Structure 1
Amino acid sequence: MKVLCLSGSARAASFNSALLAVAAADLASRDIDVVRVAPAELTALPLMDQDLEAASGLPEQARALKAAFHKADGVVLACPEYNGSVTPLLKNVIDWVSRPDEALPAPACFQRRPMALLAASPGALGGLRGLRHMREILGNLSAMVVPRQFALAKAGDAFDAQGALRDSKNQEAVAGVIDDLLYWMEAIHGKG
């Protein structure tokens, strides 16, 4: 099985990217093929613009991301919260990946695709408000957003120097989200 992992933050010291690394390590420990998208690949995407799309088609970066989503049996998104909602970077990715093209119809990258949501924030809610919006956006695209999610509060103190989570309960929460993702991947795709 293959899981695509990406963070909605381009910040070098991103808590969400650190949390995504924890999830990716958990997946790898279960012999899952993990495909990580580098933040530079996301920032290279132009702002979603239908005039640009009409003039020159989907940008090559968008085609590559669409292919990565389509090939994945599941997706893990680390979703920073900006002003109580999703980041422009992550929304731009979703907007481009959801566009139709000759190779992949519009819903092919999301429809029935199991997706797991994580968030991390220095605040007390851990990015929880943004996850609600992300769940709604992905649901509108017919993605199967797994029921369990995890929002890491007080993320500035949550990681040790090696990037591991200090609190075993937080590690268990990430593992629980991965458990849900793998369950739904098996249920939908029949791979195990």
Structure 2
Amino acid sequence: MASSSPKILAFAGSARRESLNRKLLAVAVQAVRDAGAEVTLVELKDFALPLYDGDLEDAQGMPAGAAKLVELIKAHDGLLIASPEYNSMITPLLKNAIDWCSRADDDPFPGKVVAVVSASPGALGGIRSLKMAQQLLLHLGCHVVPGNTMLPQAHKAFGADGGLAEGQERTVKSVKALAGALVETARKLSGKS
């Protein structure tokens, strides 16, 4: 019997061990689970994707790591992505993963439900990368959950346990609302309601 819970694939566009976005993603993953979804958390660096190159693709085809990520995306009802901001842009790691996956013969993005979060030590909370990631995913045919769930001054926002520190009620509320919308939309579009 198939599960009635939506399946969400979660990843961050950062490979840093102490990434603020990975910390925010962990909070969001828990909120998505609390909202009733099954979550698979992966690390993009584990897929060992070469820099996208059309000549490489023509000569060798889709790298094994990219093919594996494509299959994971296809096997899930939605995506939860933490998009760090490097120089006011999405990270090369995230962009490269999206570029490779979008090249698959069976493109996994059209119709996929996606929620994006962002954290930054700056005052804007990574909104530029968040908006850029949302726009890119919309262009690829995803159903992007509306909302701006970002965490400014994120270097001060986490406690010793890795969770959000006291005083972050607004962020908690935003993450829970986004998680609920992601799960509900994924449930409806996958027919698991």
Q: Is TM (by shorter chain) over 0.5?
A: yes
Q: Please tell me the root mean square deviation across aligned C-alpha atoms, in Å.
A: 1.2
Among candidates 102, 120, 125, match of residue 98 of structure 1 = 102
* Percent identity between the two aligned chains: 40
Q: Distance in 2 between matches of 1:88 and 1:49?
A: 13
Alignment of 1:144 onto 2:143: yes
| Uncovered stretches (5+) of structure 1, i.e. residues with no partner | none
Does the CA contact (< 8 Å) of 2:35 and 2:183 recur in 1? no
In 2, are the aligned partners of 1:148 and 1:180 still within 8 Å (CA)?
no
Q: CA deviation at 1:30?
A: 3.6
Paired residues for 1:6-45 under 5 Å: 6-42=11-47, 44-45=48-49
Q: Which amino acid aligns with 1:65?
A: L
How far apart are 1:31 and its partner, in Å? Answer: 4.0
2:98 partner letter = I
1:4 aligns with 2:4: no
Deviation sequence 1:146-181 (CA, Å, 0-9, x none): 112301000001010111112222111111110111
Report deviation, 1:136: 1.2
Amino acid in the other structure paired with 1:145: V
One-letter code aligned to 2:86: Y
Report the 3-state secondary structure (helix = DSSP H, G, I; strand = E; otherwise coil) of the residue aligned with 1:183: helix
- Counterparts of 1:182 and 1:64, CA distance in 2: 24
Structure 2 residue ranges without an equivalent (≥5) = 1-5
Which residue identity lines up with residue 76 of structure 1 in the other structure?
L
The runs of at least 4 consecutive aligned structure 1 residues that moved more than 6 Å come to none
SS of the residue corresponding to residue 123 of structure 2 reads coil
Query: How far apart are residue 38 of structure 1 and its match?
Result: 1.7
Q: TM-score under structure 2 normalisation?
A: 0.92
Equivalent position SS for 2:177: helix
Q: Amino acid of the residue matched to residue 51 of structure 2?
A: L
Aligned to 1:70: 74
| Residues 116 and 149, structure 1, Cα contact 8 Å, conserved in 2 | no
Q: Who is 2:184 aligned against? A: 183
The code of the aligned residue for 1:165 comes to L
Q: Are 2:84 and 1:85 aligned?
A: no
- Match of 1:134, SS state, is helix
Task: Verify the 8 A CA contact 2:33 2:39 in the aligned structure 1.
Answer: yes
Q: Which residue of 2 aligns with 1:162?
A: 161
Deviations 1:111-133 (A, max 9, x none): 11110010000000000011111
